[in-house]
Chain A
Amino acid sequence: MNAFPRSLPTDQTLYERLEVNGISRRDFLEFCGRLAVVLGLSEAAGARLAHALQAVRRPSVIWIQLQECTGCVESVLRTVEPTIGSLVLDVVSLDYSHTIMAAAGHQAEAALQQAMKENAGKYLLLVTGSVPLADGGVYTTIGGRTAKAVLEEAAQGAAAIVAVGACAHWGSVQAARPNPTGAVGVAEVIKDKPVINVTGCPPIGDVVTATVAHFLTFDRLPATDSDGRPLFAYGKRIHDQCTRRAHFDAGQYVEVFDDEAARKGWCLYHVGCKGPATFSPCPIFQWNGGISWPIGAGHPCLGCTERNFWDTMTPFYGRLPDVGGFGVERTVDIMGAALAIGATAGVAAHAIATGVHQVRERRKLAVLPPDAGKE
């Protein structure tokens, strides 16, 4: 028997809830300020965030997991600023989450149905995992239903959908050639709702929570590039923000791992770094509270925020533009155009072409303005 009612209306605002939970107004305002920075907003927007978050009730969030590895959920569990983690628990009502919910089986299914019904048209749907369409969808079933059926039902009453991670974005590793199960991303199945792609394998957890906060605050999803990725996180190329960029410009490269150049922290372009072809928040947000990031720890970028990266960015240790997706024969201009698919095309293509040119010329000075990829 359940000792408590499963859902009752509440008239507490978010801020009131936080207050009784021992979070001071000062902490709350600080949190809003940090959130504004994460979202790339001005300081004044922090006050607006604070105002909006104080007015909302805990909105329903439903998180479904399809064909995937749970890495994206783990990434969200690592959102680092401790108050952000607890605020996410307190800001939303997470009504369905395969990984952490208490109920299983019929009780889990009932919780999902109840949340969808009570919050019809209002809940935010988070999706991790791809949708295997081959052979009638038999490659992933949940409660006896296909991933496609589960997604379509959950999407029906959603106000908006956040596709979390590369699998939900475009299928990721199981969709790499030859894509044995016919895996596709959310937006290929759901066409009548806004779908935002918080991509990466996995994405940085804080980008997921910031996207959710943006939706709750402004009642709409953040602005995106042409591949549905939020600009506040994916608007800039790694290469343009890289902590090792000065070494690229100076022609200082790691030639093989653990050489003297590696021990000096030089540029990883020659050992396969895909930073010049990748739009990602990694160099700015960094990982796990900003302690490091892949290039910072000496490994080349794999390009995991780009569509089809398992095919276009491999071999991972091959040097751009010699990797599979581009081909040696292509000119740098064609390569630049191909790379610009998801980004703000023209200038980014120019920036990449310029970057490659730089490699060839080994120029000593940067020629790109710091915000070249953004316009």
Chain B
Amino acid sequence: MAVTKVVVDPITRIEGHLRIEAQADGGRITNAWAHSTQFRGIEIVLQGRDPRDAWAFTQRICGVCTVVHAVASCRAVEDALEITIPPNANLIRNLIHGMQFIQDHVIHFYHLHALDWVDVISALKADPAGTARIARTVSSWPNNSETHFRAVQDRLKKFAGGGQLGIFTNGYWGHPAYKLPPEVNLLAVAHYLEALDWQRDVIRVHTIFGGKNPHPNFLVGGMASAINIEGTATINAERLVDIQGMIRRAREFVEQVYWPDLVAIAGFYKDWAAIGGGVPHFLAVGEFPEADVRDLDRLYFPRGIILDKDLSKVHPYDHQLVQEYITSSWYQYSGGDGVGLHPWEGETRPAYTGPTPPYDSLQERDKYTWMKAPRYEGKPMQVGPLSRMLVAYASGHAEAKDLVGQALGKLGVGPAALFSTLGRTAARGIETVLLARRMEVWFAQLVERIKSGDTRTFDKSRWEPSSWPATAQGYGYLDAPRGALGHWVQIADGKIARYQCVVPSTWNCSPRDGQGQMGPYEASLVDNHPLARPEEPLEILRTIHSFDPCMSCGVHVLDATGAPVVSVKVQ
């Protein structure tokens, strides 16, 4: 067999600009490269600015995970200035971030990932009565009726019959890798449309607390949305009832639509539980503080590292052991391209050495991407829902263990099935269910606090720059929908001296490092990975989408001037 060169650019149904190149031989992928083809330089822009403004700048790194950089930035500055935010502000941030997870994961499943598994055109052949029968066996969702599915199918028929396929033009319809019966395809299409309506309802939790979505407003020291249950322009009983309704509707949809659909569809693709495992190490920095953010024992999703797929031990995480490499990236280090640098010492000098556009190929070049290569003690790490659920499972998190066990039981597979493309997609659903339930707990805690008379949302003690030390530095961690995130800030004379982010998609989309170790995307694509038709790269999309790429997040740059580093504070 001859080796076929494969180029997929743009990878669509993701955030940002990603190019995948590969080599295939005999229906298998034999080599792969992940290329990030966008660079913006936001950290350069941050230098010399007011650290209280940083959340707004870093928030614009990404409009999909639209709260994660803002919260991580606030935490970094609050760490540097030794600010403890009031418990109400922490609960409000959890409610905002929790709804971000839930909404983002559902959109990912239906609108970004589903078309890799669901043949939209096949749904035209479905028997709506059959779809209703299947749907009712897995869920009591009121819309799972023959009438509803028939209406959706009629609408789809008119749409396709008109000849203008719009966003479905040139899809991989009829590809042999699609395995769902027409009735299940119709079920997924119906819920694709319902999820579009649902997501814009539940996300309004952001609008109430932050004024808008995307890009709601945050505040160093707490939250700006004051609580006054007697007020007309504040968080009051009417607003709280609104939020309660959104949380309830979020949970209903997740439990009655998303999760049953995921399990039903996964049942037809069990072979993907042995495909695309890739990098065997998993990192979770932990998220959803249920006390002060510094109290690492009170995180709802625990922190830790799983090495070599060994679920019998959870290793501790120390952010000082993170280093970034640029061996394969379009940057230069003053100490040479072979070294790894911790974010405190990080430097980035963009130095493009790729071909002059337009170009046809980037593979087998020494440098091939704008993405750096973060490594933990020299090892590549997967981050994201699967890492969080593995760490939770191995840490004995009762609710996570229970739900993982249920999912494995329904699919009739063992825990090893989690280390796969299907495992990443299933883990995203599992943590969505956990969060949809936990939101009710956080909401009840907020209401209880208000009832007890505590309405504080902001700590003003370190708001004025005159109260700050001459120099300070802080680390803000956050486990975002797509995985482990860190912001590092150094402040001097009231201004940002240095700012650095290490972002989920930087971990997952990282290129080869100095030791030649592939990053997670690359390693997954060469792990027992099929590619039936190199000219129609459906299987590549499945595995890449299972990571939910967010490319604008992944590429960043530190100051080009190499500002001096103040002493490192241990988290």
Contacts and interface: CB of A to CB of B under 8 A. Distances in A.
B405 to A, nearest CB: 34
Contact of A69 (B53, B62, B170, B200): B62
B297 interface: no
Interface in A95-109: 95, 97-108
Contact of A263 (B173, B174, B228, B463): B228
Nearest to B552: A69
A10 B171 CA distance: 21
Contacts of A80: 200
B557 interface: yes
B66 A71 contact: yes
A94 B166 contact: yes
Contacts of A369: none
A85 B200 contact: yes
B217 A294 contact: yes
A55 interface: no
A291 B243 CA distance: 11
Interface in A30-51: none
B552 A262 contact: no
B541 A78 contact: no
Interface in A72-103: 72-75, 77-80, 82, 85, 89-90, 92-95, 97-103
Contacts of B359: 141, 144
Interface string A140-157: 111111100100000000
Interface string B203-226: 110111111111111010110111
A288 B224 contact: no
Contacts of B441: none
Given A69-B62, A75-B214, A299-B211, A138 B354 contact: yes
A100 B13 contact: yes
Given A3-B121, A180-B557, A181-B39, A58 B162 contact: yes
Interface string B152-175: 001100111011111111111110
Contacts of B141: none
B483 to A, nearest CB: 18
B215 A202 contact: yes
Nearest to B40: A174
B15 interface: yes
A263 to B, nearest CB: 4
B45 A9 contact: no
A289 B204 contact: yes
Interface in B162-201: 162-174, 196-197, 199-200
B366 interface: no
A103 B53 contact: no
A178 B559 CA distance: 11
Interface string B89-125: 0000000000000000001000110010000110000
A100 B107 CA distance: 10
B207 A69 contact: no
A218 interface: no
A145 B211 contact: no
Contacts of A142: 9-10, 17, 37
Interface in B3-59: 7-17, 19, 37-42, 44-45, 49-50, 52-53, 56-57
Nearest to B15: A70
B169 A257 contact: no
B171 A317 contact: no
A236 B211 CA distance: 19
**Interface residues on chain A, size class:** 35 or more
Nearest to A98: B12
B410 interface: no
Given A294-B212, A302-B56, A258 B456 contact: yes
A10 B60 contact: no
Interface string A303-340: 00000001000111110000000000000000000000
Contacts of A297: 207-212, 216-217, 224-225
A295 B226 CA distance: 12
Contacts of B456: 258
Per DSSP, are chain B's interface residues mostly helix, strand or loop, or mixed?
loop
B233 A244 contact: yes
A317 B64 contact: no
A9 B265 CA distance: 35
A303 to B, nearest CB: 11
Interface residues of B, number: 110
B166 A93 contact: yes
Contact of A71 (B60, B162, B358): B60
B207 A68 contact: no
Given A85-B197, A138-B352, A174 B121 contact: no
B514 interface: no
Given A3-B173, A172-B60, A262-B226, A104 B537 contact: yes
Contacts of A8: 162-164
A209 interface: no
A135 to B, nearest CB: 6
Contacts of B107: 77
Given A108-B10, A296-B211, A1 B174 contact: yes
Contact of B171 (A95, A103, A172, A295): A103
A243 B165 contact: no
Given A71-B62, A98-B12, A288-B213, 16 more contacts: A1-B174, A7-B169, A74-B64, A77-B107, A78-B213, A98-B10, A142-B10, A144-B358, A144-B360, A180-B350, A183-B40, A201-B60, A202-B214, A257-B219, A258-B456, A291-B207
28 contacts: A3-B174, A4-B121, A5-B163, A7-B165, A67-B38, A69-B15, A71-B62, A74-B214, A77-B196, A97-B167, A104-B541, A105-B537, A139-B40, A139-B350, A139-B370, A140-B17, A141-B38, A146-B357, A149-B357, A173-B40, A202-B215, A257-B460, A288-B206, A288-B212, A294-B210, A297-B208, A298-B225, A318-B50
Interface of A: 1-10, 12, 17, 20-22, 58, 67-75, 77-80, 82, 85, 89-90, 92-95, 97-108, 110-111, 114-115, 132, 135-146, 149, 172-174, 176-181, 183, 201-202, 204, 243-244, 256-258, 262-265, 282, 287-289, 291-300, 302, 310, 314-318
